[in-house]
Amino acid sequence: MNFSEELQELRKKSKKRNFDQTLDLIINLKNFDPRREALSIFVILPNISKKKNICAFLEHPSKTVDYVITKEDIDKISSKDVKKLVKEYDFFIANAKLMPKIASKFGKVLGSAGKMPDPKIGGVLAQETDETISSSIKKISSIVKIRLKEASIKIGIGKESMFDEDLVKNADVALETIIKALPKKEINVRSVLLKFTMSPPVKIKKQKK
């Protein structure tokens, strides 16, 4: 699919706003029932567009991350407190040594929100150093998580102020990752669109083979 041409068309059609609009990639699906086929996808965008708010469960305080819950704090805070944090933070990371306690006390809250520290994306740290924490944050900042609840996917892939080349790369990677995760691959895709926050959508044309 040629995202470059459609992105240029979208820029021409979109009115200038007094804020930096998000560019959304919309994928409408067919022959797919999200109630029967649960799907959770991590998309790693090559060009970071938005800072993620990250909370960490660590043995010791750290200035490297936005907010830290120390080993001692875990005993003091309640599931109700963690529910509030789930609304404030995009991702949670943790020292691997604390995972059994985290899972036991907060597993239900974090799990149901899809925000349990995940080793697959670097969210569980084997060592607790500024370097490992920074590395985890850098990796997670490039990730967009999709939990499919309906037959349409909308994913923010960048900002209006970004270069077209970077936005096109993000769109290509996002679409490819999502198609690979679908049970019937391209057959499950009805249509693909791009839109800015306040603009009408532009349909992406399929390239002729």
What are the pLDDT digits (tens) for 104-158? 999 999 998 889 999 988 999 999 999 999 999 988 888 888 877 788 999 999 9
Which pLDDT score is estimated for 190?
94
Are residues 34 and 62 part of one domain? no
Q: What percent of the chain has pLDDT over 90?
A: 74
Which pLDDT score is estimated for 207?
59
Total domains in the chain come to: 2
**Domain CATH code at residue 70:** 3.40.50.790
Are residues 157 and 78 part of one domain? no
Burial profile 42-63: b = 16 or more Cβ within 10 angstroms, e = fewer = ebebebebeeeebbbbbeeeee
Residue after which a domain boundary falls, among 94, 112, 141: 141
Parent domain of 198: 3-48+144-203
Are residues 135 and 77 part of one domain? yes
Rounded mean pLDDT, 174-189: 93
Which pLDDT score is estimated for 4?
92
Are residues 126 and 86 part of one domain? yes
Are residues 116 and 64 part of one domain? yes
Is 209 contained in some domain? no
Is 176 contained in some domain? yes
Sequence-distant (≥ 6) Cβ neighbours of residue 146 within 8 angstroms: 39, 40, 41, 42, 43, 153, 155, 178
